[in-house]
């Protein structure tokens, strides 16, 4: 492996130097994200009236208690905003006013007072206002537009026919407690609104929402929960939950329209293509210097042309390429270590692999740092494709390193494996295929909005991890991938090549997961970084435990030689 890295040292140096442009973009992005630490809790006048009717408690008392608990603004329609009694009631309670629909007059603005009928009604209950008229009023008044997250958490809800392309006004992300979410009162075995607090916490910390639109909760029977103490306790609990993560209730700051500099995007592209050439050299011999120079020149030309002519498309393509190349480089390092070393403790190669993976995460976070991604106006669509590509490449790389003998045909390799596993080899092969099929099926069903839902016990375990660690690491990383890598080292030490290959493939799940954490651009970069770091620490601890157990139960034969990489 050292010889290979030395032969491609110039490309590695280029990839490392180009990360300086990525760091610059990340610095700008982190600066913007650090302004999103204030959370604005909004309640609509319509909902407060509904709570008042259900409880018999005056509207003014509801407004006062909600304001005391942390609510900051009362959402009103243009007709309600023109009513002096409603405005006075909000002022007496210490609430500001946010506008829902109509032409913006300054402050916080929502497209509608109800987002379950927004697509059908537009900004009013009759005829929708023209897009140009609404956006011009927003821009001229200096209002902050709140973009409400859609049900699938894959974008924002806009009125029919609306587009924010070219809009340069201030915007923030908001979370609306819709009918499904508000019905999670006293669910998962909780006695109150704990699960709703958990959802709001994830909206703020995991997805960067700075506006929370609180709506009336409903119980299992579908009845409105109309006790003020429930809502005040909910807001107080949420304030306590988000405070350790650096968030608090307060006035929001809008995210300005910002695009990635073409020059910096160009440099990032050159760095990613340099890393791609190194990965290509793992599969295909690129001994001819002219061929490497030609490939690098083509990569540079594409980076320049794409950044200048089609920057939006270039950002998506480069992020996808980085999400595939750098995890695959980490897998290549792992495969080389398993092949070249029979030691059970990690060598320097593991750090090289994690460095490559970390570099890729920086590139992805920098390339997708435009405001259209931060506001989820655009979504990176290559998450699943990059995951499947990494898994496929990992199977091939690990097979080349562990199951293939240089100079032998595939048929000869299979015959050698059969002889090594001659005892019950059919059962072993069947078990291997069943395990791979089971893991793949569960992964597909659990990815995104898959068909396989999370159990009550698992969801409560996730909630517990969030409360203890603040940023919950991905289960597939610390509980599956990193311990599997430790098991792969142990199997390699015992020259159990097929088992080492299987555990190595499971370890590749973690590399793909880490890269894809940064592809979910809705989360702040530092949050993704902390989540990845926590997962790595937990995974190393569990991996060390796995190694200790395996070495105790499965000692290395005394005749095995130990090599140091």
Residue 370 predicted with pLDDT over 80 = yes
| 128: pLDDT strictly greater than 80 | no
CA dist 340 to 3, 37, 493, 563, Å? 12, 48, 10, 8
Residue 3 vs residue 236, higher pLDDT: 236
56-70 average pLDDT score = 94
Write the CB contacts of 12 (distance below 8 Å, at least 6 apart in sequence). 5, 274, 275, 278
Determine the pLDDT at residue 426: 65
pLDDT over 80 at 176, yes or no: yes
Rounded CA-CA distance 396/327 in Å is 14
The answer to whether residues 224 and 59 touch, using CB atoms and an 8 Å cutoff, is no
Q: Is the pLDDT of residue 25 over 50?
A: yes
Res. 436: pLDDT tops 70:
no
pLDDT tens digits for range 239-255: 999 999 999 999 999 99
Mean pLDDT of 195-200: 94
Q: Full-prediction pTM beyond 0.85?
A: yes
Residue 122: pLDDT over 70:
no
The yes-or-no verdict on residue 448 having pLDDT over 60 is no
Q: In whole angstroms, how far apart are CA 552 and each of 11, 236, 275, 328?
A: 43, 50, 40, 32
Q: What pLDDT, in 10s, does the model give residues 27-37?
A: 999 999 999 99
What's the pLDDT score for residue 126? 46
Q: How many CB atoms lie within 10 A of CB 372?
A: 20
Residue 336 pLDDT class (50, 70, 90 cuts): confident
Rounded Cα–Cα distance for residues 92 and 59 (Å): 12
- Contact between 199 and 169 under an 8 Å Cβ cutoff? The reply is no
Q: Closest Cα to residue 2, out of 365, 12, 428?
A: 12
DSSP three-state, residue 113: coil
Question: What six digits make up the tokens of 563?
Answer: 């090599």
State the pLDDT at residue 223: 92
State the pLDDT confidence band at 96, using cuts at 50, 70 and 90.
very high
Between 205-214, 247-256, 488-497, the lowest mean confidence (pLDDT) is in 488-497
pLDDT of residue 562: 43
pLDDT in tens, 282-299: 888 887 888 999 999 999
Which distant-in-sequence residues (6+ apart) come within 8 Å of 500 by Cβ? 338, 402, 488, 489, 491, 492
Tell me which range, 263-277, 404-418, 472-486, 530-544, is most confidently predicted by mean pLDDT: 263-277
Averaged confidence pLDDT in the chain: 85
Do the Cβ atoms of 235 and 66 come closer than 8 Å?
yes
> Quick one: pLDDT at residue 442?
62
Q: How confident is the model at residue 124 (pLDDT cuts 50, 70, 90)?
A: very low
Least trusted range by pLDDT, from 11-25, 190-204, 511-525: 511-525
**How confident is the model at residue 21, as a pLDDT?**
95
Question: Is it the case that residue 427 has pLDDT exceeding 80?
Answer: no
Across-strand partners of 208?
A: none
Whether 564 shows a pLDDT value over 60: the answer reads no
For the chain, the farthest-separated pair of C-alpha atoms sits apart, in whole angstroms, at 89
- State mean pLDDT over 326-338: 90
**Proportion of the chain above pLDDT 90, given as a percent:** 45
Is 15 in a helix, a strand, or coil? helix
- Report the C-alpha gap between 84 and 71 in whole angstroms: 21
Task: Give the pLDDT score at 447.
Answer: 57
Work out the pLDDT band at 60, boundaries 50, 70, 90. very high
Question: How far is residue 57's CA from residue 351's CA, in Å, rounded to a whole number?
Answer: 62
DSSP state of 472: P
455 falls in which pLDDT band (50, 70, 90)?
A: confident
CA distance linking residue 126 with residue 290, whole number of Å: 67
H helix and E strand count, the chain: 24, 8
User: Which residues, listed in sequence order, are joined to residue 317 by a DSSP beta bridge?
Assistant: none
CA–CA distance, 44 with 52 (Å, rounded to integer):
12
Alpha-helical runs (H) found in 456-496: 456-469, 475, 482-493
Under the banding of pLDDT at 50, 70 and 90, the label for residue 203 is very high
DSSP state of 51: H
């Amino acid at each position: 492996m050292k010889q290979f890295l030395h032969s491609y040292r110039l490309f590695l140096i280029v990839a490392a130097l180009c990360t300086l442009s990525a760091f610059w973009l990340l610095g700008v992005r982190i600066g913007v994200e650090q302004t999103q630490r204030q959370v604005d809790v909004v309640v609509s006048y319509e909902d407060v009236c509904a709570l008042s009717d259900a409880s018999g408690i005056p509207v003014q008392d509801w407004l006062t208690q909600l304001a005391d608990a942390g609510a900051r603004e009362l959402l009103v329609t243009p007709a309600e905003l023109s009513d002096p009694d409603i405005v006075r009631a909000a002022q007496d309670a210490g609430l500001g006013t946010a506008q829902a629909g109509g032409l913006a007059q300054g402050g916080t603005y929502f497209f509608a007072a109800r987002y379950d009928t927004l697509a059908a009604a537009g900004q009013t209950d009759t005829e929708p206002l023209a897009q140009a008229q609404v956006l011009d009023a927003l821009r001229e008044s200096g209002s902050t537009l709140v973009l409400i997250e859609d049900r699938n958490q894959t974008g924002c809800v806009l009125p029919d026919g609306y587009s924010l392309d070219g809009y340069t006004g201030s915007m923030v992300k908001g979370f609306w407690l819709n009918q499904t979410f508000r019905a999670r009162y006293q669910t998962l075995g909780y006695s109150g609104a704990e699960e709703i607090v958990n959802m709001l916490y994830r909206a703020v910390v995991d997805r960067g929402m700075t506006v929370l639109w609180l709506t009336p909760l409903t119980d299992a029977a579908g009845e409105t929960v109309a006790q003020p103490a429930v809502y005040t306790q909910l807001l107080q609990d949420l304030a306590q939950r988000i405070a350790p993560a650096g968030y608090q209730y307060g006035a929001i700051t809008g995210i300005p329209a910002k695009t990635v500099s073409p020059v910096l995007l160009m440099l990032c592209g050159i760095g990613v293509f340099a890393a791609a050439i190194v990965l290509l050299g793992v599969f295909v011999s690129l001994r001819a210097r002219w061929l490497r120079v030609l490939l690098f020149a083509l990569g540079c030309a594409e980076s320049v042309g794409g950044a200048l002519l089609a920057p939006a498309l270039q950002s998506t393509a480069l992020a996808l390429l980085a999400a595939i190349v750098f995890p695959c480089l980490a897998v290549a390092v792992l495969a080389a270590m398993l092949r070249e070393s029979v030691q059970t403790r990690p060598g320097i190669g593991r750090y090289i692999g994690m460095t490559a993976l970390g570099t890729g995460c920086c590139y992805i976070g920098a390339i997708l740092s435009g405001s259209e991604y931060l506001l989820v106006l655009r979504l990176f669509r290559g998450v699943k494709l990059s995951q499947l590509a990494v898994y496929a490449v990992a199977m091939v790389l690990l097979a080349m390193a562990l199951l293939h003998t240089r100079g032998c045909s595939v048929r000869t390799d299979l015959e050698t494996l059969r002889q090594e596993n001659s005892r019950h080899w059919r059962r072993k092969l069947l078990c291997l295929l069943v395990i791979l099929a089971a893991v793949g099926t569960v992964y597909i069903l659990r990815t995104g909005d898959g068909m396989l839902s999370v159990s009550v016990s698992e969801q409560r375990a996730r909630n517990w991890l969030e409360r203890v660690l603040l940023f919950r690491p991905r289960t597939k990383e610390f509980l599956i991938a990193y311990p599997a890598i430790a098991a792969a080292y142990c199997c390699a030490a015992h020259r159990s090549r097929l088992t080492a290959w299987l555990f190595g493939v499971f370890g590749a799940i973690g590399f793909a997961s880490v890269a894809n954490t940064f592809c979910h651009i809705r989360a702040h970069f530092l949050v993704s970084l902390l989540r990845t770091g926590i997962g790595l620490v937990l995974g190393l601890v569990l991996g060390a435990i796995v190694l200790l157990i395996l070495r105790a139960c499965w000692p290395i034969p005394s005749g095995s030689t130990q090599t140091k990489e």
